[in-house]
Every structure is written in structure tokens, then in C-alpha cells.
Structure 1
Amino acid sequence: MTIVHATDNSFPQDIEKGLVLVDFWATWCGPCKMIAPVLEELDAEMSETVKIVKVDVDANQATASQFGIMSIPTLLIFKDGQPVDKVVGFQPKEALVQLVQKNA
């Protein structure tokens, strides 16, 4: 599966089924750039378990404000459309694997 780039309009459909890891990010954010390749690795290794969705907070402010995103990167885990977990800031791959496994 490839990483989905969601918009305010597509977001509800992007998270409605299964386990979804959402990365709230922006182009100017240094830690967001650092976490991007980590998410690509995670997608390559765990696409059977989790879908990865990215939301650019500058372009999709309604979705970012709906979930109270105050700092980025913020990663939310959704299960069947409901938020179940959250981490803020850069996370190493091992931490993200554990986060996904904990909520799977």
C-alpha cells in the first residue's frame, strides 16, 4: 500500500476502516522531514496491519483543528474511524512499530 495524502474532504473516508496511522505535518517542519522516511519504511513493512495517511496542516486546517493539533509532527492512531492513540514529535521506527502493535 502507498501512503495516502488526505485532504479535509477525503479525510473521513481515509480513516473509516481498520487501523490508520495519521501523520499531521507541514513542509517547513524539520522533524516532519525526519519522520517521513521512517513512515515510508513502516508502510513497506506493515502495510498489511496499518494504513498510513499524511495530512498537511497548512493545506488542511479544518482537519488539524478538528483534532486539536497544536504541534507537529503529531501522529494519531485511528481504529475504524475513531482516534485511539496519539504521540507528538519525532518518533524512531521502533516506537512507531510498538504504537501500531499496541493498537492493532
Structure 2
Amino acid sequence: MLKEVSSAEFKETVNDGLVLADFFSTTCGPCKMLSFVLNDVEKEFGDDLKILKVDFDQNKDLTAEYGVTGYPTLILLKEGSEVARMQGLQQKPAIIKMIQEHK
């Protein structure tokens, strides 16, 4: 199950290995479709990857800090540093490829 986090929770978790941050909006159709894809991605990687859902509207500090200007935006972080980014609705193979390239 994907976990929606606050800014504080995000900052506590972001340095723990490989983290995929999903910046989304509750009113965004592609964001909702991406959640189904990310559920599958999460099953594939298990404990090797944490997926955090960050509400674009509720966490303006994080969206500013990471320069997120639209949604959905996926940011892959390794030990707290950004290593890759994708914007818009993505397919599972593209997301998996991005993650595997930075494992």
C-alpha cells in the first residue's frame, strides 16, 4: 500500500536507501492512474524501494524545495539525493527501468 506522507515524514524517510517520491494532486486524473502503476512497481521491488506519495497542494515547502512545477512528478532519491525525475503519467516498464538504473 502506498503511503501518503507529510513534509516531516518525508524528511524522516528520504535518506533511507532508495525512495520514489510521487508528487500528486487529489484532483488530477493521471495522478490517480499512476497510483495503480506504482502499486505494481512497489510489489516488484518490495523492501528495496520506498514509495512516498506527496500531496502537491498540502506540501508546498517540498514542491518548492524539489522544484516540482506540475503533477504527477516522480522523483527518485538515493540516500536523500535526487538521481532521476519523470513528469506526467508513466508506464510501469519506464519507471522500473529508471529505478534499476540507479539501484
Instruction: Name the residue aligned to 1:13.
Output: 12
Q: Which residue of 2 aligns with 1:33?
A: 32
Between the aligned partners of 1:11 and 1:53, the Cα distance in structure 2 is 7
Whole-angstrom CA distance in 2 between matches of 1:5 and 1:30: 17
The reply on whether 1:99 has 2:75 as its aligned counterpart is no
Give 5+ residue unaligned stretches, structure 1.
none
Return the letter of the residue paired with 2:21: V
Give 5+ residue unaligned stretches, structure 2: none
State the Cα distance separating 1:50 from its structure 2 match. 1.3
Partner in structure 2 of residue 51 of structure 1: 50
Using structure 2 for the length normalisation, give the TM-score.
0.94
By percentage of residues, which structure has more helix?
Answer: 2
C-alpha distance in structure 2 between counterparts of 1:3 and 1:103, whole Å:
21
Cα root mean square deviation, aligned: 1.0
1:21 and 1:3 mapped to 2: Cα distance? 11
Contact 1:6 1:14 in 2 (8 A): no
Equivalent residues of 1:20, 1:50 under 8 A apart: yes
Q: What is the rounded CA distance, in whole Å, between the counterparts of 1:85 and 1:94 in structure 2?
A: 15
Identity of aligned residues (%): 35
1:49 CA drift (Å): 2.3
Output the amino acid matched with 2:74: L
Tell me, in whole angstroms, the C-alpha distance in 1 between the residues paired with 2:4 and 2:10. Answer: 9
Number of aligned positions between the proteins: 103
Instruction: With the length of structure 1 as denominator, give the TM-score of the two structures.
Output: 0.93
